[in-house]
Chain A
Amino acid sequence: MPTFDNPFDPDRALTSGCSCGRHASASAHDDDLRLQLQCAAVESEEKRFEGVVASAVMRAVFPKDASRRAFLKSVGASTAVAALSQVFPLKTATEVFAQGGALEKKDLKVGFIPITCATPIIMAAPMGFYSKQGLNVEVIKTAGWAVIRDKTLNKEYDAAHMLSPMPIAITMGVGSTPVPFAVPAIENINGQAITLSVKHKDKRDPKSWKGFKFAVPFDYSMHNYLLRYYLAEHGIDPDTDVQIRAVPPPEMVANLRADNIDGFLGPDPMNQRAVYDGVGFIHMLSKEMWDGHPCCAFAASREFISAAPNSYAALLRAIIEATAFAAKAENRKQIAAAIAPANYINQPEIVLEQILTGTFADGLGNVKTDAKRLDFDPFPWESFAIWIMTQMKRWGQIKGEVDYAGIAKQVYLATDTTKLMTEAGLTPPVTTSKSFSVMGKTFDPAKPAAYLDSFAIKKAS
């Protein structure tokens, strides 16, 4: 098997000749394999796993074998190992890998929407986090949230990037047939903004926004709930005083340019793109409303999780490690470069860099700095789900009695994530629910009904 070779040997091909590449012919390979099996004790399992992981990493770093050989010849194998260990925790990765059982399915398809919220899902492909787990994951750009929902329900995708309220809506059967879905990891926290057209430069007070037309990407999105929350806090009824439309992100910028909408609460890179193109300015970051709010999620159906538990665990490990890598400020520039190409987000690198590093032009002539503008924390707090449900109910998307805690526990898999984060050497929180404050108002996940009652502007009866 090629994955068990020494990948740091410059003269070894990772793929060629026989199935392992070490022999001239398949029969020579078989003979050798028989010999090896007879004295299998010599080579420890740990050593083999190390080879598997290192090969995967090397392949990810050097997709072309020729460049890998050239690199190894020029710096030497030991330097290469040292250099790689700096970037990839080879030892930890090996241990984690060793714990996983046999993968039921190695070729997986994961759908994503080309926005920065999907950063960990996307970057895990070019930066080798999936291959490190022995997975061959194709990340597939998808045309819209409804399509991602349908393709995941149709099992074309094994897992997908979704807006964090979507799996809750799908599980409850709101806007689709009810299918049990799960969120084992939150993709990103913060990272959205209210962008207004440059012609509204002087209208910074939300109270003067009556009659505005706004865009959000999807009805079941944090964008929708946050915009409604923000407007309502300033005395504007989002259902009667303004118009809120569901508009795909790229059309937000185009509509802003065409004067069709006055602003949007949208995902990045579109906020920054509107600034970059000179058509909009960033009124406020979503972080300023609720620091640490979830936005997008990594979601899979319960069926996939039970049918292929090891593949699912490996996939989740990759996502969690990618998220941990993305959470470090020093890696952000490198990530921006990795996800900018047409195969992934397909945006100018400088736009992504501004979002990820948090040093950005605001569209009003200032360069602002907020290192946490977009951040990554995979932990799927159950209280996030409960807050989302209070807002679904507040705006009439769901009616009647809601089993807040029950659904939150069922969809947001905080317990699974805790286990995997510990395995990956991270420190998960000890509880699965936490209190937080949205625009200065504290949310107690134990009392969702009281929270809902406290709002003056709402649709819920």
Chain B
Amino acid sequence: MPSSLSLRAAIVSVALLLVFLIGWHIATRGTGATATMSPEYARLMGATATQGKSAMPGPLDVGAKLWEHIKSPFYDKGPNDKGLGIQLGYSIARVLLGYLLAVVFAAPLGFLIGMSPLMSKALDPFIQILKPISPLAWMPLALYTIKDSSVSAIFVIFICALWPMLINTAFGVAAVRKEWINVARTLEVGNVRRAFTVILPAAAPTILTGMRISIGIAWLVIVAAEMLVGGTGIGYFVWNEWNNLSITNVIIAILFIGLIGMILDQILARFARMVTFPE
């Protein structure tokens, strides 16, 4: 039955999508010519004012524009107008940089906290206070002190990706079964070897869960951060198109942000499956 279940699920998914698209199309249909205007005046007005075209783009408009973007994803027409592929590339690069920095920082620190009850207690107040701060709240401070907007964006990614990883690593390390540690102790395994051969494999699934949460947050934050600092990236693209009041392009950007976020999440999910072991 499983194959027929996924088949049926796929059919329902497609049906839902179609219903959504048709509903969208109907809801955004224009009303036809609205007021009578002199042709000279009408020439100066937009389609919304003259033909009663909905201010919200329909699925066909979005589809046509989407195709344009997909056809030339890497064009470069100056510092403020680059293809969607380039914009996404910038965003992904920033996220990965900040994220890897966070991994480098969080993994050893998490290990330390997990293995030492003293450090765990000592660092706990800091973590509790710093963890709930919205990543974007750091932005003004980062801009002011770092004095470089792209480094500030990376710093914001770093600071928001840090906490889930740190807490999960610490939790995973602390939750390794006591029997295993005792066995290692009986066999007189050294501290370093114990960390790498006993604790790391046992805590790996929890650590990767933390990393998976982090990448999701990092991707959420980059869009907002780039909207704030401008320059390049998908967040900048959204802001730029918003300036132009082009809702079509904003919808397309949303679609891509969702797709990339999903891909990043799936990659981490795969890693997590690789290190999980059946008990």
Q: Which residues of A contact B (CB under 8 A)?
A: 114, 125, 138-143, 147, 150-151, 154-156, 249-250, 253-254, 257, 273, 275-278, 341-344, 346-348, 350, 354, 360-361, 365-367
Contacts and interface: CB of A to CB of B under 8 A. Distances in A.
Contact of A277 (B46, B229, B241, B243): B46
Contacts of B91: none
Given A250-B244, A275-B45, A276-B45, 4 more contacts: A140-B79, A150-B143, A155-B147, A254-B245
A339 B123 CA distance: 54
A257 B236 CA distance: 23
A262 B231 CA distance: 32
19 contacts: A139-B79, A142-B230, A143-B229, A147-B143, A147-B230, A154-B147, A156-B148, A250-B242, A250-B245, A276-B49, A278-B34, A278-B49, A341-B81, A342-B81, A342-B240, A361-B44, A365-B35, A365-B37, A367-B44
A150 B240 CA distance: 19
Nearest to B78: A343
Contact of B149 (A114, A141, A156, A273): A156
Contacts of A367: 38, 40-41, 44
Contacts of A360: 44
A125, A254, A257, A361: residue with the most chain B Cβ atoms closer than 10 Å: A361
A154 B143 contact: yes
A276 B80 contact: no
A402 B242 CA distance: 40
Contacts of A147: 143, 149, 228-230
Nearest to A350: B44
B79 A343 contact: yes
A250 B77 CA distance: 23
A249 B240 CA distance: 12
A257 to B, nearest CB: 7
Nearest to B79: A138
Contacts of A350: 43-44
A278 B149 contact: no
A348 B44 CA distance: 11
Contacts of B79: 138-141, 343
B244 A342 contact: yes
B90 interface: no
B68 to A, nearest CB: 12
B171 to A, nearest CB: 38
B148 A154 contact: yes
Contacts of B45: 275-276, 278, 361
B80 A344 contact: yes
